[in-house]
Chain A
Amino acid sequence: MDPVEAQIAEWRAYVAKAPAVGDRDVDELEAHLRDQIAELDAMDLTADEAFLVAVKRMGDLDSLSREFAREHSGRLWKQLVLRDGDDAEPVRRSGGWLEVLVPAVGAAVAVQVARLAAGFPDQEPGWLLRNAGLLVLPFLAGYLARRRRLDTRGWLVTAAPFVLAALVVNLYPFRPGGATEVLVGLHLPVVLWLAVAHPYMGGTLRSHERRMDFVRFTGEWIIYYVLIALGGSVLLLLTGAILDPIGVDVELVAEWVVPSGAAGAVIVSAWLVESKQHVVENMAPVLTLLFTPLFAVMLSVAAVAYLVSGAAFDRELLGVFDALLVVVLGLVLYATSARDPSRPAGLMDGVRLLTVASALVLDVLVLGSMVARIGDLGFTPNRAAALGLNLVLLVNLGWTAWLSLRFLTGRVPFHRVERWQTAYLPVFAGWAAAVVVVLPPVFGFE
């Protein structure tokens, strides 16, 4: 090979090693290098000299790859070293087991203490249900706040929503077993999970890129949590099979181990996402690739079937559909976060649009029968909460569908779709918070 060609090949291989520089980027940089060499050649430099000058002009590769990393933080969001403004300020290096063990055990113990105090499972006091999220998620927030080295103000801002939530759910005079109490039990974890976003993002709540990172974090956290739960159930089944013959009460073991395990796993999953990212990172696109088409088929069939048959939605079915729509939204969000924004529109984007459009149709049908029910039977806390959720989803899905369509037809960049989703996240938080704070007094804590 021509010696300059060999040098270019070597240079190319070196540039390609930078994690944020993709193949096509290397192609582009190489084309640039060759242009430069050609021009220098014409100025009577030897090929060797031309190569050296061209490489020198390209700038040092470290800062080049850092610039690429800054721009394509999605390609290596795992490193989370890229803050706006200042140069690389790495998060605290993983402190090993202790870093996760302390908050995980803390959450596990908190759950046990609350359980003992409540006399669970013989009694099922409502306050335990209401406080479930408050027993676990502060430990997660604390773990993240410590990892991101938040200052005192950052810690205070992190603590504020938890303190407020604790006051609200414990000072409100809920009627035991009432509808508003159940609603709070369902919505508070959502509020608190979004409160975890603050320490996760290291206090940069305004950054849309960081919000997208939080969406990714949530998706991967779910994956790890499910994996741990599956492994845990297998372990528990086998333990039962072994202990049962020698007369140990398995139920009792499970009763003690499961709540603590479930609480501790919340933090362990987060720790896994933080420290083992590249493992799941390869899985995320595969999972969305697998499930987006399946959901698209399922939802479009359902949308057509319900449209054609005009089937009525009873109370139960409405609940199922609400759950389904939330899952679909999660999938769409996660698929958005897993997509490389610089890729042009492709088949998968069409499939995702089909998913969103079908979900939109179903949401409209659900809303229609919900409004009819409210017209016939009046407002109840459950109906109010469901109506609000469906409206919030309707706006999100509708605008997502519109933007996706414009993206597919090449009118807007994918960035807009991303931006819409990240801009909308506070609406979810706001709605869930409203259900916790506003709805119970409005309905007299019934």
Chain B
Amino acid sequence: MQIDKNLVAASATPLVLAILTEGESYGYAILKRVRELSGGELEWTDGMLYPLLHRLRRLGYVTTEWRTPPEGRRRRYYAITDDGRVALAEQRRQWMTVTRALGDVWRGPGGLMPALGEA
């Protein structure tokens, strides 16, 4: 399944912020987590993550630091800030509304919308 690119773009910010609430991380690991969470359906080109991370940093949603873990490569780690959590909560409310509305309409007035499933 190819997910529409507008949908990918719209979900990118909440997804990244939500992943960072699990703990600080770096670009490559964030992308792996995105693939894992979406069962490989959400495919971002790797490079596109970085401009997004920089935007989140400019907005003050994440902080960043270069670090070299004991047995690893020097990487730029990102951590979510309080502002980021606030923004995520807001995004979450919006997404909940959208998914609830879609959920209701998928089910349709008489229960299920059977025709759609096989379409």
Contacts and interface: CB of A to CB of B under 8 A. Distances in A.
Contacts of B66: 24
B73 A413 contact: no
Contact of B60 (A58, A70, A412): A412
A34 B58 contact: no
A86 B11 CA distance: 19
A208 to B, nearest CB: 11
A59 B48 contact: yes
B92 interface: no
A68 interface: yes
Contact of B54 (A27, A34, A63, A71): A71
Interface in B24-78: 26-28, 45-48, 50-52, 54-55, 57-60, 66, 73-76
A32 B28 contact: yes
B59 A59 contact: no
A369 B57 CA distance: 44
A31 B74 contact: yes
A25 B74 CA distance: 13
A28 B76 contact: yes
Interface string A35-72: 11000000000000000000001111101100110111
A17 interface: no
A84 to B, nearest CB: 13
Contact of B47 (A27, A31, A58): A58
B45 A58 contact: yes
A416 interface: yes
Contacts of B76: 24, 27-28, 31
A413 B59 CA distance: 7
B contact residues, range? 20 to 34
A413 B57 contact: yes
Contacts of A412: 60
B60 A29 contact: no
A341 B50 contact: no
A24 B54 CA distance: 12
A6 B57 CA distance: 32
Contacts of B45: 57-60, 63-64
A28 B54 CA distance: 11
B55 A415 contact: no
Interface residues of A, number: 28
Contacts of A416: 60
B54 A72 contact: yes
B111 to A, nearest CB: 40
A67 B48 contact: yes
A32 B58 contact: no
Given A28-B76, A59-B46, A415-B59, A36 B51 contact: no
A68 B26 CA distance: 18
Interface string B80-109: 000000000000000000000000000000
A342 interface: yes
A155 to B, nearest CB: 33
A426 to B, nearest CB: 22
A35 B51 contact: no
Contacts of A31: 26-28, 73-76
Nearest to B43: A57
A340 B107 CA distance: 50
Contacts of A25: 50, 54
Nearest to A57: B46
B61 to A, nearest CB: 9
Interface string A147-160: 00000000000000
B28 A36 contact: yes
Contacts of A24: 66, 76
Contact of A29 (B50, B52, B57, B74): B50
Nearest to B44: A59
Interface of B: 26-28, 45-48, 50-52, 54-55, 57-60, 66, 73-76
28 contacts: A24-B66, A27-B76, A28-B27, A28-B75, A28-B76, A29-B47, A31-B26, A31-B28, A31-B76, A32-B28, A32-B46, A34-B73, A36-B46, A57-B45, A58-B47, A59-B48, A63-B45, A64-B48, A67-B51, A68-B51, A71-B52, A71-B54, A71-B58, A72-B54, A342-B57, A413-B58, A413-B59, A415-B59
Interface of A: 24-25, 27-29, 31-32, 34-36, 57-61, 63-64, 67-68, 70-72, 341-342, 412-413, 415-416
